């Protein structure tokens, strides 16, 4: 029997979910749920989805599905995911898991109690260089991890490669705390914090953070959107393994559409984990190369996508990784950064 999958929220990112599921054997996209009728029609036509609903309640009353990708805006994840778990559905929820840690913990707790497959879509776990780097660090390749620099560089507030942020709702909700966004920190900070801590093999022990919201419109307002969410942040972190470093992100990195960089140094070597222009690359400086500062590129292997791993977990009745408890653990540090910044 194919797994019957529903897509909740059919905006920009939902297209990636649909394309990925449509490429996996024995997964059938059976329904879409969306508040904007035209967006729903276009999306379902394009991805060959038969059933269309204007609310999650209607879809739950219909009930002909086992699993859901929740691709709604951040502020909508909590209420909808809780309803889906109560209804016995497996959920792949977009990041950040919720708009705050209290909500994220409730989601993780309910997911644990139900035993349903739950996964948070930390996309960059799919980067081959990240997986290889994490395995090498765990094997002791760079010795004791001492220092790191991690950055997530976007530029959609500085140039229109992804559209006009001043007029398009998918960008405006990301700029507004009243629309449930935690700005660059909540949107991409969660990715780069996970990127760094996953490779380092250690979560933070303590952080401090500076957040910055730039003036971008008259009275910081465009229509219904108050532009009060941070555009840039710089975090200092000490990890449980004792390493210290910085994690930063901005939407003003002119010249970079979507680039992630991690430099990680141990007492026996260094590594550079890059995901730039959608290309994964791992460079290392180890052993005899240390004295002559020679860096070499490491060969990496393709890794399964999050969508494939979500589906495999459902089929094999195992748990997916990263699960909601990981999403909640990361959310704890985002909340700390917001209080502190």
Ligand X SMILES: NC(=O)c1ccc[n+]([C@@H]2O[C@H](COP(=O)([O-])OP(=O)(O)OC[C@H]3O[C@@H](n4cnc5c(N)ncnc54)[C@H](O)[C@@H]3O)[C@@H](O)[C@H]2O)c1
Binding site for ligand X (CB under 6 A): 8-14, 33-36, 39, 56, 71-74, 76, 80, 94-95, 121, 123, 170, 187
Give Rg (Cα) of the chain. Answer: 20
**Is the CB of 105 or the CB of 270 nearer to ligand X?**
105
Shortest distance, position 288 Cβ to ligand X, whole Å: 39
**Is the CB of 74 or the CB of 272 nearer to ligand X?**
74
**Is the CB of 35 or the CB of 241 nearer to ligand X?**
35
- Return the DSSP state at 24: S
Closest-CB residue for ligand X? Answer: 11
> What would the two tokens of residue 193 be?
């914090």
Q: Do 282 and 262 touch, CB atoms closer than 8 A?
A: no
Lateral strand order in the sheet of 204-212: 204-212, 232-239, 244-250, 145-154, 258-266, 269-276, 279-286, 296-297
Q: CA–CA separation, 144 vs 326, rounded Å?
A: 24
Q: CA–CA separation, 82 vs 250, rounded Å?
A: 31
**Is the CB of 74 or the CB of 335 nearer to ligand X?**
74
Q: Count of residues for the chain?
A: 341
**166 CB-contact burial (10 Å; exposed 0-12 / middle 13-18 / buried 19+):** middle
The terminus-to-terminus CA distance of the chain in angstroms comes to: 50
Q: Do 247 and 257 touch, CB atoms closer than 8 A?
A: no
Which is nearest to 199 in space by CA: 253, 256, 257, 280? 280
Q: Do 120 and 95 touch, CB atoms closer than 8 A?
A: yes
Residue 237: what are its φ and ψ, rounded to 5°?
-135, 145
Total Cβ atoms within 10 A of residue 163: 12
The residue with tokens 């998918």 is: 170
The residue with tokens 């022990």 is: 205
Shortest distance, position 104 Cβ to ligand X, whole Å: 13
The residue with tokens 């910085």 is: 246
Q: CA–CA separation, 55 vs 66, rounded Å?
A: 17
**Is the CB of 170 or the CB of 178 nearer to ligand X?**
170
């Amino acid at each position: 029997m194919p797994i019957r999958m529903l897509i909740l929220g059919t905006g920009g990112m939902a297209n990636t979910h649909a394309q990925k599921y449509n490429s996996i054997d024995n997964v059938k996209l059976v329904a879409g749920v969306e508040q904007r009728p035209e967006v729903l029609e276009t999306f379902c036509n394009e991805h060959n989805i038969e059933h269309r609903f204007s609310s999650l309640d209607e879809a739950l009353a219909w009930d002909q599905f086992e699993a859901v990708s929740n691709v709604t805006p951040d502020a909508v994840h909590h209420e909808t995911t809780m309803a889906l778990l109560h209804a016995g559905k497996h959920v792949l929820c977009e990041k950040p898991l919720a708009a705050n840690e209290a909500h994220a913990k409730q989601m993780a707790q309910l997911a644990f109690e139900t035993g349903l497959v739950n996964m948070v879509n930390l996309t960059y776990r799919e980067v081959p260089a990240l997986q290889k780097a994490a395995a090498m660090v765990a094997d002791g390749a760079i010795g004791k991890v001492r220092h790191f620099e991690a950055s997530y560089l976007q530029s959609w507030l500085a140039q229109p490669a992804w559209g006009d942020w001043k007029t398009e709702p998918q960008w405006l909700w990301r700029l507004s705390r009243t629309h449930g966004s935690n700005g660059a920190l909540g949107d991409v900070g969660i990715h780069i914090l996970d990127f760094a801590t996953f490779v380092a093999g250690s979560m933070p022990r303590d952080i401090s953070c500076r957040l910055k919201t730039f003036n971008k419109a008259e009275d910081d307002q465009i229509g219904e959107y108050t532009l009060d969410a941070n555009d840039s942040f710089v975090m200092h972190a000490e990890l449980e393994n004792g390493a210290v470093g910085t994690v930063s992100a901005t939407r003003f990195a002119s010249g970079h559409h979507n680039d992630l960089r991690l430099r990680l140094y141990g007492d026996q070597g260094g590594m550079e984990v890059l995901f730039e222009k959608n290309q994964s690359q791992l460079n290392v400086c180890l052993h005899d190369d240390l004295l002559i500062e020679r860096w070499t590129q490491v060969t990496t292997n393709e890794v399964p996508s999050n969508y494939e791993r979500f589906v495999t977990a459902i089929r094999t009745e195992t748990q997916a990784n990263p699960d909601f408890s990981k999403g909640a653990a990361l959310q704890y540090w985002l909340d700390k950064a917001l209080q502190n910044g």
